[in-house]
Structure 1
């Protein structure tokens, strides 16, 4: 346990009325609901006991080791980890698509709705961490902009993209009222003050950074400031805190893959935070962070070996468009002919020849079933997205 008890949420009964007449008679007759009121945490101390402090230090050490890798492939690694984190975070919300659909959506080709949402989550996460690193702060405008990026094309909640909710929301239970809900967040009018408090906490420098990221995430989920997208933005906040605190400078920790491996446990620990069980959630995030970072180092090793492996596989002529493409493929795992031409400076006819050759040699594969505006994915890198998440999940389930 921490040396300072973490306050549990309190509750308040507030009036409730449906905007229409929907659901069961119980939904329609409901007149009062009990909302959960998180504590204000901006200035709360958090001093973990020695064993937990050691786990937090071990997690931070693994993260720093990945980010400080001296080999010249960190751009490729950063892109891989960013995609892995956002794909796993989406899957926690049961938003899923094949890697081919995801690749098409990355290339701007209209894929299925889930693939487009996963790409939006990737962009939102990248945006949040870049701003946290660039400004040294996590600001309300950054949260709102990331949410706008995530939800702009959502078929249901696009009108709320980038906006703090002005309605009451709830988690689970009935679709028509908070009856049976697992959690009923605070009333809409209190959300701006809660976010101001949360951001003050997230911008502190006197806390362990991994613990700070964990608590910020749990508090964000309790406040639930948006009508939808709270889970994905809340998990992006974890990496934004780690970037702001300097644990990462070029990479992302795919901690959502650890959460996805034991999804029910993750949700239970977030619920436990509302009862004041802060240490359990902090310890779990520390463990997941350590495992995710260690697995990311294995991906770093694989990425470092790939260019030589591709050259051995294809044996392109020196100076050819194919040879030039092999030099940059690690950082461009999904590309079309025009992008390949920009990267190589070769004539378009030579680029198509190079792409066809690399496809025949098993380096890339086409992810579009058409002759015009074709898109290719790098086989090893698309596979590593799922492989990395799978390694993290296996280690989590094994008790690593």
Structure 2
């Protein structure tokens, strides 16, 4: 199989008559979600669990098995066996890259330099750390069954000799305008996957670019629209649509799939964000009434940002005096706001969960 030569951007094959209806639906759904986002005074705190969930799901597409609960327990200081720790570290790196990227695009546009720096964060100290983190590949890679040769590959990305040429064209396309930012976002993601500029980690970086691009094009108020939930639950179609782009030039079909993903994920995000916002407003009153603490506002922010925690973690984040921390947590337990999921034993501290928040994030009762 010969290395693929990416299509020139902007594409000449996009058919506006086929895209107009799904585009309108995606714009409406995303605008409704963004309106909700604008109304949140501290959206980054309230929607922090959704950022963690995005990191989990995007990494799961690549084969990790860590759950949102695993990651939040790790945040609280828990340790696991080597295999789970490896998975959790990959998710944590993705979340770090996502948060760093969100700050970076406040100051500068998306660039090849930014993409390389995010890849370096993504691959730091985890599986793949020996595969040129932060550097575009200088060797030919291919995609196919584990251990297959290039002749058995399903897809062979561009020859490294022409990689920079296509990456520079990609960077120029990101900076410019196309039919609509949502259509352009679909092209950006697929073209990045086709170019496959890194030896490893391409899928995660490509998905990370979606909210950054939509934010830079002012389609969303903050880079907090995450698509991996839909892509993970439709993984086979996701990969098939990307393959059809290179196998049969089915760009319109890919864009339609992407716009449907935006529509359905935006509607799910609206439901989750609305539930989180309502819960946050409720907890401002409930935590104050349960604890009568002058630190109640910080306690609420802390259990939203870290819905699985140890007492010491809550004490530090909410700036509660050490003498009061145990009493405050006990009051939260008695008010059924948090629950102990593992009592302390010996030197091992107890572990607590804010179940209603995680149940909203997961869309089901997990606690």
Structure 1 and Structure 2 fold alike (TM over 0.5) = yes
Q: Is it true that 1:279 corresponds to 2:252 in the alignment?
A: yes
Partner of residue 262, structure 1: 234
- Aligned-pair distance for 1:286? 0.6
Partner of residue 338, structure 2: 364
Partner of residue 19, structure 1: none
> Which protein has the bigger helix share?
2
**Structure 1: distance between partners of 2:40 and 2:308:** 22
CA shift digits 1:343-370 (9 cap, x unpaired): 4332112123212332454433457775
Partner of residue 7, structure 2: 39
CA shift digits 1:194-223 (9 cap, x unpaired): 211111111213431111111111111111
**Structure 2: distance between partners of 1:177 and 1:59:** 40
Partner of residue 103, structure 1: 72
CA shift digits 1:140-187 (9 cap, x unpaired): 111111111111112343452111112211111351522321101112
1:86 to 35, 52, 55: 55
Question: How do residues 380-391 of structure 1 correspond to structure 2 at under 5 angstroms?
Answer: 380-387=356-363
TM-score normalised by structure 2 residue count: 0.86
Superposed CA RMSD: 2.8
Answer yes or no: is the 8 Å Cα contact 1:52–1:283 preserved in 2. Answer: yes
**Structure 2: distance between partners of 1:314 and 1:362:** 14
Q: When the two structures are aligned, how many residues end up with a matched partner?
A: 355
Question: How do residues 221-232 of structure 1 correspond to structure 2 at under 5 angstroms?
Answer: 221-232=193-204
**Structure 1: distance between partners of 2:337 and 2:350:** 16
- Aligned-pair distance for 1:81? 3.0
Partner of residue 183, structure 1: 155
What runs of 5+ residues in structure 2 fail to find an aligned partner? none
**Structure 2: distance between partners of 1:140 and 1:366:** 46
**Structure 1: distance between partners of 2:320 and 2:46:** 26
Q: Are the structure 2 counterparts of residues 356 and 322 from structure 1 closer, same or farther at C-alpha, using a change threshold of 3 Å?
A: farther
Q: Is it true that 1:248 corresponds to 2:220 in the alignment?
A: yes
2:25 to 42, 50, 58: 58
**Structure 2: distance between partners of 1:78 and 1:86:** 13
**Structure 2: distance between partners of 1:104 and 1:255:** 24
Question: How do residues 114-263 of structure 1 correspond to structure 2 at under 5 angstroms?
Answer: 114-135=87-108, 137-263=109-235
**Structure 1: distance between partners of 2:281 and 2:11:** 51
Q: Is it true that 1:288 corresponds to 2:261 in the alignment?
A: yes
Answer yes or no: is the 8 Å Cα contact 1:34–1:184 preserved in 2. Answer: yes
Residue 260 of structure 2 aligns to a residue whose secondary structure is helix
Q: Are the structure 2 counterparts of residues 383 and 219 from structure 1 closer, same or farther at C-alpha, using a change threshold of 3 Å?
A: same
CA shift digits 1:37-73 (9 cap, x unpaired): 11232x4457542351232232123223222222435
- Aligned-pair distance for 1:283? 0.7
What runs of 5+ residues in structure 1 fail to find an aligned partner? 1-32, 391-400
**Structure 2: distance between partners of 1:308 and 1:203:** 39
